[in-house]
């Protein structure tokens, strides 16, 4: 009779997770502020991240989280194929070669950078899509996906909206016209494979605020100054999930 041995599954999963965590540990941390993160609510958390401050004990990414990240990347690759099959002329690499590198930007002597998911150069005429257009893709749980569909990415996911606005602004010199065309945002429901697409007009004011924020973080870090935290109490929702919460609340307000 066949038997199920949970300890075998646990041992194998442990090996998988160990390999993922070792790969993560061998990856050099960012030495720049990423545009994908600048919409995060707390400037102090972004300052800790930029300065590569050690996270609290137990706050790092475990194997399961790294598997979730990997699944998200794989689904984004599928979204690229689906859109291309639908007639969207989508470029994700310079020269669209695997070794071509992502499109992106680097400013402030490389201390502010961003790497875009893709650029739409053309689309079927019935879509009426203005080009060139930024393409940004995210994968989400069913709950987050439904919220994004109902409210739109700008309201439901302000961090993503900030990322899109910064990309449109900073990619303009290398891709003229990309800030004039609305960005194409795609969200993949991880649970159901449903797709959501929406057009996001360029928000210049948002891009400026986020750019100013980046400069503020750089200047404060260079000066050895600690930026204020976004909450007044330690039990704030976002603080409870912050990987630097212990460090933060042991320091000055």
Mean pLDDT of 121-127: 96
Is residue 99 over pLDDT 60?
no
If we measure between CA atoms, which residue out of 169, 173, 184 comes closest to residue 118?
184
Both tokens assigned to 184: 């194409």
Indicate the average pLDDT of the chain.
Answer: 92
Amino acid 80: pLDDT: 97
Amino acid 25: pLDDT: 83
Both tokens assigned to 211: 């750019």
Amino acid 101: pLDDT: 79
Mean pLDDT of 64-74: 92
Amino acid 5: pLDDT: 67
Let me know how many helices (H) and strands (E) the chain has, helices first: 9, 8
Structural domains in the chain, CATH included, are: 28-250 (3.90.320.10)
Both tokens assigned to 158: 């302000």
Is residue 94 over pLDDT 80?
no
Amino acid 186: pLDDT: 98
Q: 1 pLDDT band (50/70/90 cuts)?
A: low
Mean pLDDT of 13-35: 89
Amino acid 98: pLDDT: 54
Q: 97 pLDDT band (50/70/90 cuts)?
A: low
Q: Cα(253)–Cα(249) distance, rounded to whole angstroms?
A: 8
Q: 35 pLDDT band (50/70/90 cuts)?
A: very high
Asked if residues 186 and 196 have their Cβ atoms less than 8 Å apart, the reply is yes
Q: Per mean pLDDT, which of 59-63, 91-95, 223-227 is the most reliable?
A: 223-227
Q: Cα(135)–Cα(186) distance, rounded to whole angstroms?
A: 8
pLDDT, tens digit, 9 for 90 and up, residues 179-215:
999 999 999 999 999 999 999 999 999 999 999 999 9
Mean pLDDT of 83-108: 85
CA angle 233, 236, 242 (to 5 degrees): 110
If we measure between CA atoms, which residue out of 99, 162, 92, 77 comes closest to residue 134?
92
Total-model pTM = 0.90
Percentage with pLDDT > 90 across the chain: 77
pLDDT, tens digit, 9 for 90 and up, residues 225-238:
999 999 989 889 89
If we measure between CA atoms, which residue out of 17, 167, 40 comes closest to residue 105?
167
If we measure between CA atoms, which residue out of 129, 185, 190 comes closest to residue 160?
185
């Amino acid at each position: 009779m066949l038997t199920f041995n949970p300890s075998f599954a646990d041992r194998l999963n442990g090996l998988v997770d160990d390999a993922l965590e070792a790969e993560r540990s061998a990856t050099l941390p960012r030495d720049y502020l990423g545009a994908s993160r600048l919409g995060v609510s707390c400037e102090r958390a972004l300052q800790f991240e930029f300065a590569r401050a050690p996270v609290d004990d137990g706050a790092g990414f475990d194997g399961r989280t790294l598997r979730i990240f990997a699944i998200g990347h794989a689904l984004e690759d599928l979204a690229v194929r689906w859109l291309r099959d639908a007639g969207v002329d989508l470029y994700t690499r310079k020269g669209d070669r695997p070794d071509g590198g992502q499109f992106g930007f680097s400013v402030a002597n490389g201390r502010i950078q961003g790497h875009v998911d893709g650029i739409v150069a053309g689309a079927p005429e019935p879509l009426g899509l203005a080009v060139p257009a930024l393409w940004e893709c995210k994968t989400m749980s069913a709950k987050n996906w439904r919220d994004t569909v109902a409210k739109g990415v700008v309201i439901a996911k302000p961090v993503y909206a900030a990322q899109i606005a910064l990309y449109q602004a900073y990619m303009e010199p290398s891709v003229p016209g990309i800030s004039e065309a609305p960005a194409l945002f795609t969200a993949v429901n991880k649970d159901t494979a449903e797709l959501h697409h929406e057009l996001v007009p360029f928000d210049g004011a948002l891009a400026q605020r986020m750019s100013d924020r980046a400069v503020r973080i750089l200047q404060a870090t260079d000066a050895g100054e600690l930026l204020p935290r976004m909450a007044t109490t330690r039990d704030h929702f976002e603080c409870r999930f912050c990987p630097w919460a212990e460090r933060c609340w042991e320091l000055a307000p």
